[in-house]
A and B are shown apart, each in its own frame.
Chain A
Amino acid sequence: MSRGNGTNCLDDQVTGMALSVLAEVGRMLETLADSGREDAIDLRSLPLTDADRAELEQMLGRGEVRAELDLAGESEVWETNYPGAWWIRHRGAERKIASEEIAVCRIPEILKTHPVDIETAALRIRNELETTHE
């Protein structure tokens, strides 16, 4: 029950929240399978202790896919051991977690390339080729 700064806290206590979140993920996966409806849970909005979060991460485990993103700071996305349930962790200033969610979907939106970026990429290649030929 002790933090490095000398004050004590309850962050290393397991409250049972992880199991509730796991059950919720299970319900969302059923809905995704039945109707294709995607959903997500904002982990920062839940009163999870550090120990709960670690327990949840361990319960969900890691599956086949893992991606590292470099977007104004680091982000990590991995499919958990339960296909269709993805853990998305965005880091902000000083690598602190800026947002963290479990997305229940076929593929998280953040991994898809946006049509605007595809257009821009094509344009960049065209410009580069034009410059090379000049």
Chain B
Amino acid sequence: MNDKKTLGEMLTERGVSRRTFLKYASYTASIMALPPTAATAIAQGIANARRQSVIWLSFQECTGCTESITRAHTPSIEDLIFDFISLDYHHTLQNASGHAAEEARMQAMQENAGEYIVVVDGSVPLKDDGIYSTIAGITNLQMLEETVKDAFAVISVGSCATFGGIPGANPNPTGAVPITDIVTDKPVINISGCPPIPEAMTGTISYLLSFGSIPELDHLNRPKAFFGEAIHDRCYRRPFYERGMFAKSFDDEGARQGWCLFEVGCKGPVTYNACATLKWNGGTSFPIQSGHGCLGCSEPGFWDLGGFYKPLSTAKGDPLKWAGGAAVAGAAVGAASAIMARNKRNKILKEGK
């Protein structure tokens, strides 16, 4: 769709006040780790923007990423994003099907050339000429190349699109690759996670809308606002880690006391994501708070890291690697307790756990 009106004009007609924009902007500034004073500029930026055309391509995926972004809640400030974008193509959500669906994609590409955003979930199979996943008679590779040609930017959502994910896990039977292996001439923003946190997806789109530019990214093309810190850095169980107090199994006294889950396989020390701060289901909880270690789902190759329930050092075969990294991170809390924790982990490793 190519609506000439600005979002401000469109939503004013529907009775949405500028205060509501400002509230949304405060929420966006907060989740993007921008200063609260940036809210006024964000609100103005969104009000002046046109409704953003989004073409969403789903390849080798499970639809969990779509489930995440469309999570069912009461109508609220978080849902305003769906007024700000025009979702012009999405297999699961659009009414049209077959030729009509493909025509909608072509029309959006023509009308918004150079301005539309392509969101991709799922990896792309390359083996055997890509025949393992086709849509509308063409391979995922063909559809991706055709669609990104005139895009403003590409957002890869979910670990399959960003790093290959489960389809790309060993032995990778379809030759699945992430989007960055194919799209090299456009900005590609990676929002990893299996699924990604909804706020990471909507916050990034809101940032693009308000500032017309790409947010600051890490070395894996992920927005630093969401992927700048390890789960371990913001985990509320961290003081137990520092004191060397670890649950040894999911039903022992340590687990009941809420101790650190490192020894039952938590990948928090090497996983960069915002689960510990933004949490899930509208801020209700996150895996570690629910008693399960982090699976590391937002990191490359998480499926092949050696076992969800094995401690990191055991899984990687290098006991000191994570212990050293964690000790450095924990220096502010106390070097002595970190050394104690390291010794404790090494002891457990030696015992063959």
Q: Which residues of A contact B (CB under 8 A)?
A: 1, 3, 5-11, 38-42, 44-45, 47, 69, 71-73, 75, 88, 90, 92-94, 96-101, 103, 109-110, 113-114, 116-117, 120
Q: Is the interface of B mostly helix, strand, loop or mixed?
A: helix
Q: Which residues of B contact A (CB under 8 A)?
A: 8, 12, 17-20, 22-24, 26-27, 29-31, 33, 35-37, 39-40, 47, 73-80, 234, 236-237, 239, 256-258, 277, 282-285, 289-291
Q: CA–CA, A69 to B23, complex, Å? A: 10
Interface pair B36/A114, CB less than 8 Å apart: no
Select from chain B the residue with minimum beta-carbon distance to A45: B33
Select from chain A the residue with minimum beta-carbon distance to B36: A40
Select from chain B the residue with minimum beta-carbon distance to A8: B258
Interface pair A98/B40, CB less than 8 Å apart: no
Interface pair B258/A75, CB less than 8 Å apart: no
Interface pair B36/A42, CB less than 8 Å apart: yes
Interface pair B23/A40, CB less than 8 Å apart: no
| A-chain residues with CB within 8 Å of residue B80 when the two chains form the complex | 72
Interface pair A96/B282, CB less than 8 Å apart: yes
Interface pair A116/B19, CB less than 8 Å apart: no
Q: CA–CA, A112 to B158, complex, Å? A: 40
Q: CA–CA, A10 to B257, complex, Å? A: 11
B329 nearest CB across to chain A (Å): 14
Query: Quick one: given A75-B23, A96-B283, A109-B39, are A42 and B78 in contact (CB under 8 Å)?
Result: no
Q: List 8 A-B contacts (CB under 8 A).
A: A7-B290, A44-B30, A92-B77, A96-B284, A98-B77, A99-B29, A101-B30, A117-B12
Select from chain B the residue with minimum beta-carbon distance to A99: B30
Cross-interface CB contact of A1 among B39, B74, B77, B258, cutoff 8 Å: B258
Q: CA–CA, A71 to B77, complex, Å? A: 8
Interface pair B256/A10, CB less than 8 Å apart: no
Most B-side CB within 10 Å, residue of A5, A94, A99? A99
Interface pair A116/B282, CB less than 8 Å apart: no
Interface pair B289/A99, CB less than 8 Å apart: no
Known contacts A10-B236, A45-B30, A69-B19; 19 further A-B pairs (Cβ under 8 A): A1-B258, A3-B289, A5-B285, A9-B236, A42-B29, A44-B277, A45-B33, A88-B26, A90-B23, A90-B77, A93-B73, A93-B77, A94-B282, A96-B282, A96-B283, A109-B22, A109-B39, A109-B40, A116-B12
